Amino acid sequence: MDVTRIADAREYFPPLHHGCTALRLQGFEASAADFAWAGLSHIEPGGGADMDAGPLGKIYVVIEGEVTVTLGDGGATTLGRLDSCFIPGGEAREVRNTGDARASMIVVMPYPAAAS
């Protein structure tokens, strides 16, 4: 078993994100998880991730505060504490904390395919 204590979780820097701190909880350098990785994002008011359509699906689980997820077609959904969503690979999304307090969410994603 690989345990990551929150005090030991290392920060990583996802592209197109601002006003947030991202911590690796499992996978990559944090553990030997071989099917997916998990991170914890703390998103300050006004912060988030710009519109992007990554190739991999992702799961978001909000654990504190609220975040608004806007899809490329303009549809927006606000997720509150313990709400979650799955965004398929290739679907554009933007994530924003439009509230007045910090929001936190767990992100779970598969590993990218190995370069051939």
Predicted TM-score of the model (pTM): 0.93
Annotate 28-48 with DSSP letters as a single string: GGG---SS-EEEEEEEEEEEE
Q: Give residue-wise pLDDT tens across range 13-59.
A: 999 999 999 999 999 999 999 999 999 999 999 999 999 999 999 99
**Residue 94's CATH number:** 2.60.120.10
State the amino acid at position 113 in one-letter form. A
Q: Count structural domains, the chain.
A: 1
Residue 43 lies in a domain: yes
The range of the structural domain enclosing residue 69 comes to 6-109
What is the end-to-end Cα distance of the chain in Å, rounded? 30
Residue 81 CB coordination number (10 Å): 13
Task: Give me the mean pLDDT over the 66-93 stretch.
Answer: 97
Other Cβ atoms closer than 10 A to 100 = 8
Whether 53 is in a domain gets the answer yes
